Amino acid sequence: MKFTRRTSAVAALSLSAALTLAGCAGSSNDSSSGSGDNGGSSGGKVTVTFLPKNLGNPYFDTSDAGGKKAVEEFGGTYQEVGPDTASPDAQVQYINTAAQQGVKALVVSANDPKAICSAINDAQSAGTKVITFDSDTSPDCRDLFINQASAEGIAKSQIDLISQQIGDSGEIAILSASANATNQNAWIEMMKTELKNHPNIKLVDTVYGDDDDQTSFDKTAALLQSHPNLKGIISPTTVGIAAAARYLSTSSSKGKVMLTGLGTPNQMRDYVKDGTVKAFALWNPGDLGYLAAYAAKALVAGDIKGKEGDKFSAGKLGEFTVGKDGTVLLGDPFVFDASNIDKFQF
């Protein structure tokens, strides 16, 4: 087929319309990409990019809002980017982009412990400090990891909660996120170790809801069907516990099968009040993002190198010390129940 002049004109017109749209979308978001050449020579401001596992996840909305607050406190420039699905290859493109932009620090929750490492190394050689939070990469490929809670601390709090709720005996199951999530697997391993102190509790199944509401909902239904004697479910993921609670709250198992895990107060408030859930745990993701941003600033300023024993100050959270393997621990998990849940809004 051939194109006439008129054809070309209209084609060019419609395409330029699409491009104009692109231009508008671009310029409205310009603030973060103002200065700097490739390779990290942007002005004096500390530019911090947050790269969550995926966008549109309320957990990361909260943590990144905490990061934004901290970045604004110390007068840096904040931006948040991310893929729409939590896959490592999509994340790599954003790490590459951060390297191209020459941002001073990249705060990332890793979708895979190894797959994003070479991209992180590229960014580091372009002068970007890389801090992982929430979900770590291999320790040798990032500068610092901000750990929300130690695996031991989380595992112990989860097992303690479920054992109190089911009277320290009976069948339990775990509803996790995706099967290769670094943090989930570490916690599940620690829970299994912790369960040795509770000989009457039997872990009968571990299922994966992929941090998707509908999948987690369906897996909860399937768990209850395949294990009629189930007494408790642990869901150490915010999406999973909310979906499981939604299923339980309208099922005949409500009040019979105990549910605990890691959840956010806003998601779980109704289920705590209607008795589906007695208590659950979490750290404050806002504090986690806040701490990560201050750690980024300390690294960029050269106050710390990410070595064990380095100390830095994190605004309202106080003083922190870098631990083994370049890890900074936020603190112990916090238990939410009917008595305190209304004090928290996140």
* Interacting residue ranges for another protein, rule: CB under 8 A: 1-8, 10-12, 14-15, 17-19, 21-22, 25-27, 29-30, 32-39, 55, 79, 81-85, 87-90, 92-94, 96-97, 99-102, 112-118, 122, 126, 178-180, 208, 210
Q: Least distance (Å) from another protein to the CB of residue 250? A: 28
* Token digits of residue 268: 């779980």
> Which whole-number Å values give the CA distances from 209 to 66, 152, 222, 241, in the listed order?
27, 23, 11, 10
114 neighbors 132 (Cβ within 8 angstroms): no
Q: Least distance (Å) from another protein to the CB of residue 244? A: 18
Q: Least distance (Å) from another protein to the CB of residue 243? A: 17
Q: Least distance (Å) from another protein to the CB of residue 251? A: 26
Closest CB to another protein among 184 and 253? 184
Closest CB to another protein among 14 and 313? 14
The alpha-helical segments, DSSP class H, found in the chain are: 5-27, 58-73, 88-101, 117-125, 151-166, 182-195, 213-226, 238-249, 265-273, 285-301
Closest CB to another protein among 87 and 249? 87
Q: What angle do CA 146, 149, 152 make, to 5 degrees?
A: 130
Q: Least distance (Å) from another protein to the CB of residue 297? A: 20
Q: Least distance (Å) from another protein to the CB of residue 281? A: 25
Closest CB to another protein among 99 and 224? 99
Closest CB to another protein among 66 and 83? 83
Report the relative pairing of strands 334-337 and 279-282 from DSSP bridges.
Answer: antiparallel
Say what the alpha-carbon torsion angle 74, 45, 133, 148 is, to the nearest 10 degrees.
Answer: -10
Closest CB to another protein among 211 and 287? 211
Q: Least distance (Å) from another protein to the CB of residue 178? A: 5
132 neighbors 110 (Cβ within 8 angstroms): yes
282 neighbors 264 (Cβ within 8 angstroms): yes
Closest CB to another protein among 1 and 199? 1
Burial class (CB in 10 A: 0-12, 13-18, 19+), 31: exposed
